[in-house]
Structure 1
Amino acid sequence: MSDSIVVERRDNALWLTLNRPHAHNALNSVMTGQLVDAFRDAAGDDAIRAVVLTAAGDRTFCAGADLKGDAGSFDTGRAENPLVQVYRAMRACHKPIVGRINGAALGGGLGLVSACDLALAADHARFGTPEVRVGLFPMMITTYLIRQLPRRRYWEMAFLGEPLSAAEAERYHLINRAVPAAELDRQVVDVLERLEANSPNALRVGKQALDLMQDMSIDQTLTYAEVMIERLASSDEAREGMAAFAEKRKPHWVRAEESSHG
């Protein structure tokens, strides 16, 4: 890959770093294509337990679509919009995606934050939808934001183009928490360590279930949950987890490559 994103394996986590700080990490066709490939690769790698999405620099996480250098960002043509492809790849990646938000997240960049499963942000970060100021509207990212923000608060953001502070984003549950920039890495590592302690299968199935259940009726949700909890309870990992609990020890989560040799 070129350096539009940096892909780095750190222990059992895959770190994806948007790497166009000179352009405020704006999304162009090269970057979106590489993000799609990286999330698909992560989804197919059983050794990867989580994905961290972050950016180079400390001013801007992502300014959205590159309005200067990539005029085709919104030209769907015969294919799907590039940013939609990224969101779909994130949704299909059944590994926890942790956003490490180190600066402003605007437009499509805010969409990336919203598509993460967990998000930690430096307290100087801002979150906004300035599209109306250039004749556009936050169409695609609305898919996520109308499910995460109170309606009137999001309408205000979308119509006025004014950003939220990190503290406001935390209060409205757009991010999990805002922390001083010097503490951001420690907080992300802490989250990764806690994810590592949990069942990979439960996280994978649970992420998929949460995604599907939000669009179901209550009766559909109960029926689906009944099937899925039975399936999980009969899994090898659940048996190991419950045995470890009874024996007061840490569970041993067997990776797919280990089980294939054992």
Structure 2
Amino acid sequence: MEFLSFRQSEDIAYITLENPKEFNTLSLQLMQEFDQLLQELAMKREVKVIIIEGSEKSFSAGHSLREIETRTENEVLALFQVCQQLMKRIREIPQIVISKVEGVAVAAGCQLVAASDLAIASDRARFAVPGINSGLFCSTPAVFLSRNIGRKKAAELLFTGNLMSAEEAEAEGLVNKVVPVEKLDDETDKLAKDITKQSLNIIELGKRQFYQQLNMEDFQALNYSTEVIALNSKHPDAVEGINAFFEKRTPEWNDKPKQEIE
């Protein structure tokens, strides 16, 4: 991989955007590498959490305006469809995806944070969707941004292009937590490890249910979720977890990759 680096520590995978000279822009090649890596992690099921990180100054500056400028309209459409597939992959893989933001996350970089399941930012992080300043409204980042924060704040960011502080991003619901920059690694790992204690099978089930029900009317969502929890109750990991609760012991999940079970 040319624009990404990868490491794994037990149940946690770390994906680092490695294009610092261009502020970690989401180039076509980077997005293709990213999507392929996520697909492989989903298939292998060796990790339960994936942490995305950028560089000290820039989490990601979004799409490359140079790529957009030099392509035809159809080629630009294809470029954004690759980004669409990447965002879809983040939502559909069984693992929980955490964005760890130290520097600025703007345009599609902000979209990446908003599309992630969870996000932690350093107190020096900044967020923006400034495409309008260049005459290119951030239409695609607007989708996930407006589903993370309130409409008025989303509209303010989209139509002014202004930067939002980490503290305001936390208050508006774009990130889960803001910590001093020197504690960013430890706090992100702590959150990840709180999740890795759980069964990957149930994480996968819960992640699918969570996003499916968000788009439904209240009682349609409740009806769907009632069916999900009934099925969930007889899943082997639920049976084990309930038994472990009554027996006052740590559950032993049946969520290891198949090649390790055989």
Query: TM-score normalised to the size of structure 1?
Result: 0.94
Counterpart position of 2:34: 35
Which deviations, in whole Å up to 9, do the C-alpha atoms of 1:162-210 show, x marking residues without a partner? Answer: 0110000000010001101100010111112111111222211111111
Counterpart position of 2:52: 53
Partners in 2 of 1:168 and 1:95 — Cα distance? 27
* Residue 108 of structure 2 corresponds to residue 108 of structure 1: yes
- Mapped contact 1:29–1:73 kept (Cα < 8 A): no
Relative to total residues, which structure has the larger helix share, 1 or 2? 2
Partner-residue secondary structure (3-state), 1:6: strand
Partners in 1 of 2:159 and 2:21 — Cα distance? 28
- Mapped contact 1:73–1:81 kept (Cα < 8 A): no
Partners in 2 of 1:188 and 1:229 — Cα distance? 29
Which deviations, in whole Å up to 9, do the C-alpha atoms of 1:49-105 show, x marking residues without a partner? Answer: 1111111x2111000111135644973456762221211111221210011111100
Partner-residue secondary structure (3-state), 1:44: helix
- Mapped contact 2:28–2:79 kept (Cα < 8 A): no
Q: Map of 1:158-169 to 2, 5 A cutoff?
A: 158-169=158-169
Q: Map of 1:52-201 to 2, 5 A cutoff?
A: 52-55=51-54, 57-68=55-66, 71-72=70-71, 75-77=75-77, 81-201=81-201
Count of aligned positions: 259
Partner-residue secondary structure (3-state), 2:253: coil
Which moved further from structure 2: 72-81 or 195-204? 72-81
Paired letter, 1:132: I
Partners in 1 of 2:22 and 2:41 — Cα distance? 26
Shift in CA distance, 47/32, structure 1 to aligned 2, threshold 3 Å: same
Which runs of no fewer than 5 residues in structure 2 stay unpaired?
none
How far does residue 123 in structure 1 lie from its aligned partner after superposition? 0.7
Which runs of no fewer than 5 residues in structure 1 stay unpaired?
none
Shift in CA distance, 79/20, structure 1 to aligned 2, threshold 3 Å: closer
How far does residue 13 in structure 1 lie from its aligned partner after superposition? 1.5
RMSD (CA atoms): 1.8
Q: Map of 1:11-22 to 2, 5 A cutoff?
A: 11-22=10-21
Which moved further from structure 2: 33-42 or 77-86? 77-86
Paired letter, 2:194: R
Shift in CA distance, 69/226, structure 1 to aligned 2, threshold 3 Å: closer
Paired letter, 2:212: L
How far does residue 256 in structure 1 lie from its aligned partner after superposition? 3.8
- Mapped contact 1:66–1:73 kept (Cα < 8 A): no
How far does residue 259 in structure 1 lie from its aligned partner after superposition? 7.6
